[in-house]
Amino acid sequence: MANFVTRALSPKILPLRLGAEERSVAVIGGAGYIGSILCRRLLAAGHSVRVLDRLSFGGAAIEEIRQNPRFTLFEGDFRDIDLLLKAVRGADAVVHLAALVGDAACALHEKDTVAINYHGVELAARVCKGLGVPRFVFASTCSVYGSADQVVSETSALNPVSLYATTKIDAENMLLSRRGSDFHPTVLRIGTAFGWSYRPRFDLVVNLLTAKAHFENQAVIYNGEQWRPFVHIVDISRAFQAVLDAPLRAVSGEIFNVGDDRMNHRLNDVGEALRRIRPSVQVVEEQRPDARNYRVCFDKISRRLAFQSRVTLVDGMREIEQNLVAGKVSAYQQPVYHNHRVAELALTAAG
């Protein structure tokens, strides 16, 4: 794919961190928006990668890497204990991405949200601990901070405004309470993701506005004064890699916000970025109820793991625009690009 950001930040071009060794990494939920980028980076860095995923959005995002001899797919629900055991046995590390993702999708499937985002993670942790898999890196979200007037850090009070965020907090606490000499969980609270992926998502604000600008030459920004901590998916993958490469003592039992102080933006800034890549676009601002509003401090990941984001809003949006120009997406409204629409279809199918 025309993927200049991803290519430019590939580990083939950037030198690997000193001390990084080849490992076997199991990525639970590795066929999704973040996982399909992360798995490619891990493979390019010389690691073996096992993906355990039920392919809720199809398998196209990992089709190309299935030929790689260091890649194995375990297809199915990660709560299937036999499959889980097969996928993680002997791994040096587990990255746990699988979840029902987003407030809207979770609100539609409350029982499944708790079953997957909390109890499923508990099962995965128990199995990893039992098998002696030492590292467990968990994808949480900055939306655990909910609405906050102050800049929030890892030690700030949490203020979840959705079931999605609540289940992530419960899973964080459960994982950290299981830390021991044989089990080292690390929690990554990821900011608001954007960027082109092998599994594109257009239910994320930056991606959606870029698609609207491309196809309709107009975009509506809701609550433009609200803050979000944006982070590009290649930078998210770099953060996971940084944790996997770090000495255990630096990351065991730790929570890191994933992002960069320079990438806290108001939603109106996204409108400005949109105008830079498409000067003719008509941007309208409207208000609607949405309690999420937070600015996040990324000092800890910067100081402890020397992590800084590299991809700006404009660069990430330009990459999406290039892929749209190349005809990679015919209709961004299709359910497969929107987690809550796939969740709606699942409800309809269940009758």
Ligand X SMILES: NC(=O)c1ccc[n+]([C@@H]2O[C@H](COP(=O)([O-])OP(=O)(O)OC[C@H]3O[C@@H](n4cnc5c(N)ncnc54)[C@H](O)[C@@H]3O)[C@@H](O)[C@H]2O)c1
Interacting residues toward ligand X by CB under 6 A? 29, 31-35, 53-57, 77-79, 97-99, 101, 116, 120, 139, 141, 190, 192-193, 199, 204, 339
Nearer to ligand X, 101 or 169 (CB): 101
Question: CA 330 → CA 218, 274, 319, 323, 325, distances in Å?
Answer: 17, 20, 16, 11, 10
Residue 21 Cβ vs ligand X, minimum distance, rounded to whole Å: 25
Task: Please identify, using beta-carbon distances, which residue of 184 and 338 lies nearer to ligand X.
Answer: 338
Which tokens go with 29? 């939920």
Closest approach of Cβ 215 to ligand X, in Å? 22
Are 22 and 93 in contact, with CB atoms under 8 Å apart? Answer: no
Alpha carbon 310 to its chain centroid, in Å, reads 16
Minimum CB distance to ligand X smaller for 78 or for 183: 78
Give 16's DSSP letter.
P
Minimum CB–partner distance for residue 120 and ligand X (Å): 6
Q: Which residue of the chain is nearest ligand X when measured via CB?
A: 32
Q: Is the dihedral of CA 270, 272, 275, 277 positive or negative?
A: negative
End-to-end CA gap in the chain: 38
CA distances from 222 to 137, 198, 239, 288, 311 (A): 33, 27, 29, 6, 24
Element (H, E) at 327: none
Min separation Cβ 38 and ligand X, Å: 9
Nearer to ligand X, 190 or 213 (CB): 190
Quote the least distance from Cβ 244 to ligand X, whole Å.
16
Q: Nearer Cβ to ligand X, position 56 or 252?
A: 56
Residue type, 291: A
In the complex, the smallest distance separating the C-beta of residue 83 from ligand X, rounded to whole angstroms, is 9
- In terms of Cα–Cα distance, which of 129, 30, 136, 38 is closest to 74? 30
Closer residue to ligand X (CB): 16 or 336:
336
